[in-house]
Amino acid sequence: MKICKKFNVKFLINDDVFIAKKLNADGCHLGQKDMNITKARKLIGKKIIGVTCHNSVKLSKIAVKNKADYIALGAFNNSKTKKIKYRASINLLRKVKKITKTPVVAIGGINSSNYKNLLLNKANFLAISGYIWNNNKLKPIEAIKILK
């Protein structure tokens, strides 16, 4: 949290609205098995709430209806960070972007060779973890510089 504040970056807590509230985080991210967004909104008010929608237009519509601040779609690629249960496609990204102006975060196996296609297809944000933190060839700073 201190690092995020230092660099003026939003600090979101994954899966736990109570911790987000206790820490006065900028918001939280909710998976489909976490607290529902309506209850979360009552607890943390106008803070950022994002919702995982996997590979589903239906879940995306529900998240938009419930006023999610962003929608997370994926996994778009194979990943070593998390076991992939749902596979999202560029076609799904395009469909969701047509039905909402709610920002979309692309997740799953994003690296220097596949990130541009997601951005070209209007993903608003990219969640990149393994490529930066578990990269056998590059240190985190080097990996990030390649993505700029």
Measure the CA–CA gap between 34 and 104, rounded to whole angstroms.
Answer: 19
Query: pLDDT tens digit string along 67-117?
Result: 999 999 999 998 878 888 899 999 999 999 999 999 999 999 999 999 999
- Is 52 a residue whose pLDDT tops 90? yes
Domains defined for the chain, CATH in brackets: 53-147 (3.20.20.70)
pLDDT value of position 140: 96
What is the phi/psi pair of residue 101, to 5°?
Answer: -100, 0
Measure the CA–CA gap between 87 and 54, rounded to whole angstroms.
Answer: 7
Q: Is the peptide bond before 75 cis (omega within 30 degrees of 0)?
A: yes
Q: Provide the whole-model pTM.
A: 0.92
- Is 135 a residue whose pLDDT tops 90? yes
pLDDT value of position 82: 80
Cα-Cα end-to-end distance for the chain: 24
